[in-house]
């Protein structure tokens, strides 16, 4: 039994993400909020921070169960951060005033308004820079994925970047560090390519048991 939890910030519909997990090998998908978060580290094989919402409200929500999330990180339970879920793992963001989770060193910046239309909504191709990426197993370089964002991450350690995409500037499209996997794009909205990544994340969860 592979059990995956989706952290719900209370900001929007995460049904498509839940459905994708169920289609791609997760036996049980639980929607979790801060009220029951502290107890789930003994029950789940992976957790997803979805890409729905705004930075400060999401940080406020997860800060209510910070100890429980820290336990998940310490136990090396796989984490998939999508869009906002990726951004909140950093030290800070230009979107908000609150400090980020500071799990990944670096900051989140606004896309350059003088170069591109904001928000960036649509399909862009990936340049995969890490051929041994577990999340991209079976995914071809140049694959197209779906973005919806106004901000991008700037990790201090560029070695954790596994793919980039160009939207006026080159942005980190994905990162992998230890048990943490992140995408600036939305796999659950990225057709068969995204479905493969979701399946790969479920496989990662299974291997880590």
Active site residues: 83, 186, 188
Say what the pLDDT of residue 12 is. Answer: 67
Lowest mean pLDDT among 18-32, 34-48, 132-146, 164-178: 34-48
Residues with Cβ within 8 Å of residue 54, at least 6 apart in sequence: 11, 84, 95, 96
Residues with Cβ within 8 Å of residue 113, at least 6 apart in sequence: none
User: Beta-carbon neighbour count of residue 139 at 10 Å?
Assistant: 19
Domain boundaries, the chain: 3-208
Contact (Cβ atoms closer than 8 angstroms) between residue 39 and residue 68: yes
Distance in angstroms (rounded) separating the CA atoms of residues 12 and 42: 27
Distance in angstroms (rounded) separating the CA atoms of residues 93 and 152: 9
Question: Percentage of the chain surpassing pLDDT 70?
Answer: 99
* Architecture of the domain spanning 3-208: 3-Layer(aba) Sandwich (3.40)
Angle at 159 between CA 155 and CA 162, to 5 degrees: 90
**What mean pLDDT is predicted for residues 54-67?**
92
Tell me the pLDDT tens digit for each residue of 76-92: 999 999 999 999 999 99
pTM score:
0.96
């Amino acid at each position: 039994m592979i059990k995956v939890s989706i952290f719900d910030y209370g900001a929007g519909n995460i049904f498509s993400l839940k459905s994708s997990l169920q289609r791609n090998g997760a036996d049980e998908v639980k929607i979790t909020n801060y009220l029951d978060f502290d107890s789930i580290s003994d029950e789940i094989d992976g957790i997803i921070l979805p890409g729905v919402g705004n930075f400060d409200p999401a940080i406020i929500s997860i800060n209510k169960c910070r100890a429980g999330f820290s336990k998940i990180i310490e136990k090396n339970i796989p984490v998939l951060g999508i869009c906002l879920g990726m951004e909140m793992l950093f030290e800070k963001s230009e979107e908000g005033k609150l400090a980020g989770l500071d799990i990944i060193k670096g900051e989140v910046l606004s896309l350059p308004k003088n170069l591109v239309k904001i928000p960036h909504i649509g399909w862009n191709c990936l340049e995969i820079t890490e051929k041994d990426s577990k999340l991209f197993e079976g995914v071809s370089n140049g694959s197209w994925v779906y973005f919806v964002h106004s901000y991008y991450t700037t990790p201090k350690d560029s070695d954790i970047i596994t793919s980039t995409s160009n939207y006026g500037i080159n942005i980190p499209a994905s990162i992998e560090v230890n048990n943490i996997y992140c995408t600036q794009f939305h796999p659950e909205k990225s057709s068969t390519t995204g479905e493969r990544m979701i399946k790969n994340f479920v496989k990662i969860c299974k291997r880590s048991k």
